[in-house]
Each structure stands twice: as C-alpha cells, then as structure tokens.
Amino acid sequence: MKKNDIKKLMMLLMLVAFQANAQVDVTLKVDMSAETVGADGVHVVGTINGWSTDATMLTQEGATGIYSATIQLNEGWHRYKFLNGNAWGTEEAASYPCAPSNGDRFLYINNSGMPLILETVPFNGCNPSGTGFEVTFNVDMASEGTIPTGNVHMAGWFTDWNPEVLNFPNANGDIHSGTLRFPTPANYPIEFEYKYLSAAGWGNEETPGPEASCPSVTGANRLITVNTSGENIYDVFNACTYALSTEDVMANTFTTTYNKATRQVKMSSIASQAEVATLSVYDLNGKSVQTNNNLNTLNEITVDFQNQTNGIYFIRIESGAKQWVKKIIVY
C-alpha cells in the first residue's frame, strides 16, 4: 500500500472515530418566573459538568423569566438539576414524573447527532403533560402476590441504578405503572436499560427473561428503544412482555376471522363457553388501543378496528388464571 493511501486510510479512521464520539449541542431552559433570582445567577449542575455548582451559568432570555444555556453532551444518559445560585443549598427539587425522589432530572442523548433545544421547565417542576417525550411503563406483578401501591420500583441508567428513588404511583389490580416525562422532542428515540423491583432496595429485583426467547432482555436487564412519545410498555415481572410471553398463551384455543370490508375480527373459542373475561388490544409498540372489561362469554367475540390504522395488533384475553394472545393483521 502506498504512503498516500495509508494516510488517507488513517484520516478516514480518525474521522469515523471522531464522529462516533462527537458531542451535540443541547440547550437547557428553565422558567424562573416564580422565583426571585439571586445575585449569583442561575446555574445547572449534574453529570453534564462533573457536578460543579458554579461551572455552567444560564443567561436570561431578554426580559423574560426564561434562563438558558447551550452545552455539549455525549451520547447516553445524563442527570442534572438547576440552582438559583452557584452552591449547594440553592438547588431545586424537581420530582415525578420528570425526576425521581432525589430530584435529579433525567436526560437521554441518542446517536442521531441532532442538536437539541429542550422544553422549558419550571424551577422545581416539570414541563406540562403533552410536551416533550412521555412513556408509561406497566408491569404485571401477579406472580408476587398482593403488592401495595407505591411499592414497585424501577432502576436503570436514568436513576444511576439507584433501586430506591423511582417508584410507581399507580396500580390497577396487579398492573403497576409509572410515567416518565423528558424535555426532549416527541419524536426523539430513547434507549432504556432497566429492571423492576417488588420493593425498594436490591434483593427485591426481578430476573426478566428468559433471554433466549425474549428479545427485550439482555443479560439480567431489559433493553428497549422507545421511538415516539405516548407509548406504553407492558412487561411481566420476572418474565418477558405481554406480546412476547408464551407461557400461558394457547394459540389454538381461538379461531379468528378477519373481515376486510367491516374491519372487524370475529373470534370463536373452543375452550370455554361462558366466562367473564377482559379483552385488551395492543399495537406493535405495546400501546393499548382498546379495552373491554365486561366480556360475558368467550364463545363469540367481535373486535372492531375501524378507528385503527392498518398494521399488526395483539389481542389479549384474560379469563380467570388463563390468558390468550392472538396476532392480527389489519389491512
């Protein structure tokens, strides 16, 4: 190989390495309208600057109460909080759903290389629902018996793997849920690595899987990418997900007929004639699009897809201790 060719190859490799580790511009914004800003100004502290309380000062935008700063961040998870000053003791106390109980706001930078202008958040508070990026995690805790509301926790990179700071405030039967809200755009994909705990503290964590048959599990953790805001994730504690778990699913229990003209699915059961059941419909992302809690029979079921777009859906039926899942293609 000629010297010039070697130089070109080295330059190409250096360029690729630079791009792989390139930082992106991220603009943080905080609304201080409800605060009296101190003489030391408004700062931000976190993993973004080595937790230095006086390293990153925000600038007031004109005569508004909005303060902002543009910083460069690497791909991955970051934690931060704003200060009305430049020392500990002046920091805010943000909370659910944009921060866990320790007040550290969470932020994910993906590998798109796209510069970001984050949603404006109030000091001590979260950007309003319907802005930024929201995702709701739901976990079925039936295998663990009765779990009090608030006991289920979640740990991941977004909590620095702290097993005690993020609990789920909502429960509907065995399903415990919590919503995370980010200041990033609604169409900005976020990668989550996480696991659930039946109570605060290590020793209560799940072992999801099995990894071989559950694509969302890597090693001892769950690993997913959520592409758009508003999605619901449905997991099963110590197992996989509703759509992928096959332990209790009996594929041949129902016969299924799809009518393209009416966009309806008719399901007939050969296993049971008269049982009270619950029917749920999920799209390919795991988002719930329909629910019927009052099925009086499993013999004849009609599911209407007139309000849904074409695509793949999962119909999940629960009756007693059993569940059935059928995959449907709507076209």
Segment 156-214, tens digit of pLDDT? 999 999 999 999 999 888 889 999 999 999 999 999 999 999 999 999 999 998 888 88
Q: Is 253's pLDDT higher than 80?
A: no
H or E element in which residue 15 lies: helix 3-20
CATH, domain 133-236, list 3.30.200, 3.30.70, 2.60.40, 3.30.1490: 2.60.40
Where does the chain hold its CATH 2.60.40.10 domain(s)? 22-122
Check whether domain 22-122 has CATH 3.30.70.870, yes or no: no
Residues ≥6 apart with Cβ < 8 Å to 313: 281, 282, 283, 284, 289, 305, 327, 328, 329, 330
Listed range (64-73, 219-228, 266-275) with the worst mean pLDDT: 266-275
Tokens of 72: 């460069």
More confident residue, 82 or 234: 82
Task: Give the pLDDT of residue 244.
Answer: 39
Where does the chain hold its CATH 2.60.40.3080 domain(s)? 254-330
Listed range (75-89, 165-179, 182-196, 272-286) with the worst mean pLDDT: 272-286
Q: Is 280's pLDDT higher than 90?
A: no
Q: What is the CATH number of domain 254-330?
A: 2.60.40.3080
pLDDT digits (tens, 9 = 90+) for 19-36: 445 799 999 999 999 999
Distance of CA 64 to the CA centre of its chain: 32
H or E element in which residue 10 lies: helix 3-20
Residues ≥6 apart with Cβ < 8 Å to 140: 174, 175, 234, 235, 236, 237, 242
More confident residue, 228 or 66: 66
The answer to whether the pTM exceeds 0.75 is no
Task: Give the pLDDT of residue 174.
Answer: 87
Listed range (130-134, 179-183, 215-219) with the worst mean pLDDT: 215-219
